């Protein structure tokens, strides 16, 4: 499953891992798990590289065509790497993650890649591998963490260690299950700043069993972002059932009469610098 995305803060999804296991309360109504079951049911007679296994089995993509999908999108796009799994799951090998980075850095550097994880501590290992390989963090890859409650604010600390001074780090506070600012908006702004956060997406949960999200919690995120100089994207207010959720997402995701849809600019990596190879010698004339 790769292609156009209906997620407002991205344009394409590139699914190279299938399957995951739950780590925290934000996983309770996992979208990937529900989609996985649907895709499995749709393909049960034909089989389909990973969806035919239980969701709890983590499968790395093995087909070269799927791995190279971003090279088939010529125009620069914002690409969410894995909407159906967590790329930094412990069962995804470091070698496989580095193959994905090779595609992002060397084969399709025109895109912006967004990677979210709830396994934040693994960012330190991946950052080390990327730095060892290319000497700096690629500006077109946005490392990120998902944080749904104060219990997981420590994922911010892991994020701080990824990349370098040009890295845009992203935070997804969705589904937001409680205020992330129990010590006030100033304190949250300080934490975002300390993590060198560049972009934050906030949103309540939606769907039949959505847990409530107070608009005041989202307003705190917006205010903390403003104080910390972080771009803020309000995805949805959240709501139970499809009708109510629809009324609180997209153009209806409004706080104090305003929409918030900031996104970081796109940067293409300088391939020559990252490949570690000298520029090709000019061909001899005649």
Q: How far is the CB of 20 from ligand SF4 (least distance, A)?
A: 3
Minimum distance of ligand SF4 from residue 88's CB (angstroms) = 9
Closer residue to ligand SF4, CB minimum distance, 58 or 237: 58
Judged on CB neighbours under 10 Å (0-12, 13-18, 19+), 172 is buried
Whichever of 12 and 222 has its CB closer to ligand SF4, that residue is 12
Q: How far is the CB of 26 from ligand SF4 (least distance, A)?
A: 6
CB 163 within 8 A of CB 128: no
Which residues have CB under 8 Å from 126's CB, separation 6+?
Answer: 88, 94, 97, 143, 162
The Cα diameter of the chain in Å comes to: 73
DSSP secondary structure code for residue 249 in this structure: B
Distance CA 143, CA 84 (A): 17
Q: Which residues bind ligand SF4 (CB under 6 A)?
A: 20, 22-23, 26-27, 30, 32-33, 85-86, 118
Q: How far apart are CA 93 and CA 284, in angstroms?
A: 44
Contact 234, 260 (CB under 8 A): yes
The smaller minimum CB distance to ligand SF4, of residues 34 and 166, is found at: 34
> Minimal distance in Å, beta carbon 28 to ligand SF4?
8
In angstroms, what is the minimal distance from the CB of 204 to ligand SF4? 15
Which residue, 87 or 141, is less far from ligand SF4 as judged by CB?
87
Instruction: Report helix, strand or coil for 220.
Output: helix
Min separation Cβ 27 and ligand SF4, Å:
3
Backbone phi, psi, residue 24, to 5° = -155, 175
Nearer to ligand SF4, 122 or 222 (CB): 122
- Judged by CB, which is closer to ligand SF4: 25, or 227? 25
Q: CA 110, CA 93: separation in Å to the nearest integer? A: 25
Give the nearest distance from C-beta 224 to ligand SF4 in angstroms: 23
The residue (of 200 and 255) whose beta carbon lies closer to ligand SF4 is 200
Q: Helices marked H in 69-161 — which ranges?
A: 94-102, 122-134, 155-160
């Amino acid at each position: 499953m790769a292609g156009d995305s209906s997620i407002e803060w991205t344009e394409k999804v590139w699914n190279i891992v299938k399957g995951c296991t739950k780590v925290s309360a934000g996983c309770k109504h996992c979208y990937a798990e529900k989609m996985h079951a649907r895709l499995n049911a749709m393909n049960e007679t034909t089989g389909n590289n990973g969806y035919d296994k239980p969701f709890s089995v983590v499968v790395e993509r093995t087909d070269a065509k799927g791995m190279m999908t971003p090279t088939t999108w010529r125009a620069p796009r914002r690409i969410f790497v894995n909407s159906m799994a967590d790329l930094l799951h412990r069962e995804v090998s470091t070698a496989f993650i580095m193959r994905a980075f090779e595609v992002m850095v060397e084969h399709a550097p025109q895109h912006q890649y967004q990677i979210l994880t709830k396994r934040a501590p693994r960012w330190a290992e991946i950052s080390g591998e990327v730095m060892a390989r290319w000497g700096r963090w690629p500006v077109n890859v946005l490392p990120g963490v998902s944080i749904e409650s104060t219990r997981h604010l420590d994922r911010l600390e892991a994020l701080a260690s990824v990349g370098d001074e040009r890295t845009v780090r992203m935070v997804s506070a969705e589904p937001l299950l409680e205020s992330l600012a129990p010590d006030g908006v100033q304190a949250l702004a300080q934490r975002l700043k300390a993590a060198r956060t560049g972009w934050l997406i906030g949103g309540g949960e939606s769907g039949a069993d959505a847990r409530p999200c107070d608009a005041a919690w989202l307003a705190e995120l917006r205010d903390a972002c403003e104080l910390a100089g972080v771009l803020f994207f309000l995805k949805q207010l959240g709501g139970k059932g499809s009708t109510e959720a629809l009324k609180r997402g997209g153009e209806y995701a409004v706080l104090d009469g305003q929409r918030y849809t900031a996104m970081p600019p796109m940067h293409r990596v300088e391939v020559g610098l990252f490949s570690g190879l000298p520029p090709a010698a000019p061909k001899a004339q005649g």
